[in-house]
Amino acid sequence: MYTVPKLKSYSAAALDKAVEKLLAALKQEAAAAKNEADWKTFRDHWMARKNGVLTQINDLWLKAAPKDAKREVGQRVNELKATVTQAVDNFRPGAATAVIRAGASVKASLGTVVATAGPDALDITLPGIPRPLGAEHPVIKTVHEIVSVFRNLGYSVQEGPVIETDYYNFEALNFPPNHPARDTQDTLFIARQEAKPQRERLLLRTHTSPVQIRTMEKMKPPVRIVIPGMVHRNDPPDASHSPMFHQIEGLAVDTNITFCDLKGTLDHAMKALFGSSVKTSFRPSFFPFTEPSAEMLVSCFICGGSGKRGSEPCRPCKQTGWIEILGCGMVDPNVYGFVNYDPKKVSGFAFGMGADRIAILKYGVDDIQLFFNGDVRFLEQFG
């Protein structure tokens, strides 16, 4: 261990030599400190107030120096104090935390920590990695908005599997096997299911309607539910089609539910979604699981129903002033037969809409593919 010598001469050359020896010893002892206990011994040897090396150079070198050498010696002693202090801090095992204790010189000495302590060291002076806040995807946002309109009416949310059986997707919804109504839904079937009976064969659900059946199987009326979810159809992608898209289904079954309830509920929902000035209109349609069935239109909330935007034709409503928004109807009594509901006692209505299509209309997006390409430049705009 280094001991501080008395100086025989205070010449610049003699001082240089003494400083050089001290620094060599400092380096050697620092490198030898392998663990916390070693390091403490090292620290105390150099920095202890009583008899530490720094105290000794103060006493033996500076105080003992003749008047005319004081300035010169004082400068070197000060430099040595800074160097020793830094070396003690830097060589502490796990030095990054030790440096923080060094106070005023934290920033300056951190650079050295990184240089001396090697690649494992943590350099807390580097800027952090920014993690931008995420935002709800516009389709999911639309789904949440629609769901909340119905939640406020007392509806609860149900979900079901995306991979569905033929039975739930078609048969129990009153699409008999081989019935041509099945052709309206270009279905993606799971391969190698031929050995199974038709009703057990798996497919990607083409609509959220199977969850009506799954819910009525486990719940007795009254039922008031909305069913958001992902569906698939064998449609090649283009600006208005995607093989994967989203629907929201609704179902209300109780005693004495009539077509008036359907109209009133949906009219209210459209006003809540698109503004209180929109009007609704119903025209006859066909779905196997509702009777009667209807398509509902809303007056175009982009052109206000005029079919024109200034002198330009309104594209979203194809100049008709109306936008087709959903399918609906009174639940076909045959459906109740599949879930053990008594069609003489209960009645209900159902509806289904495309969430992506509604998002397209709400946000004025001209290509459905933009929703699913994962391009943050597009998605960011909804943040």
Binding site residues, ligand DAH, CB under 6 A: 207, 209, 249, 287, 290, 327-329, 350-352
Residue 307 CB, nearest distance to ligand DAH (Å)?
26
Q: Using the minimum distance from each CB to ligand DAH, give the nearer residue, 61 or 341.
A: 341
Nearest to 199 by CA among 226, 227, 246, 164: 164
Q: Using the minimum distance from each CB to ligand DAH, give the nearer residue, 160 or 329.
A: 329
C-beta neighbour count of 56 within 10 angstroms:
17
Residue 349 CB, nearest distance to ligand DAH (Å)?
7
Nearest to 353 by CA among 142, 183, 134, 63: 142
Residue 186 CB, nearest distance to ligand DAH (Å)?
11
| CB-nearest residue to ligand DAH | 352
Residue 352 CB, nearest distance to ligand DAH (Å)?
2
Q: Using the minimum distance from each CB to ligand DAH, give the nearer residue, 142 or 209.
A: 209
Q: Using the minimum distance from each CB to ligand DAH, give the nearer residue, 72 or 291.
A: 291
Q: Using the minimum distance from each CB to ligand DAH, give the nearer residue, 336 or 351.
A: 351
Residue 140 CB, nearest distance to ligand DAH (Å)?
19
Residue 366 CB, nearest distance to ligand DAH (Å)?
23
Q: Using the minimum distance from each CB to ligand DAH, give the nearer residue, 33 or 325.
A: 325
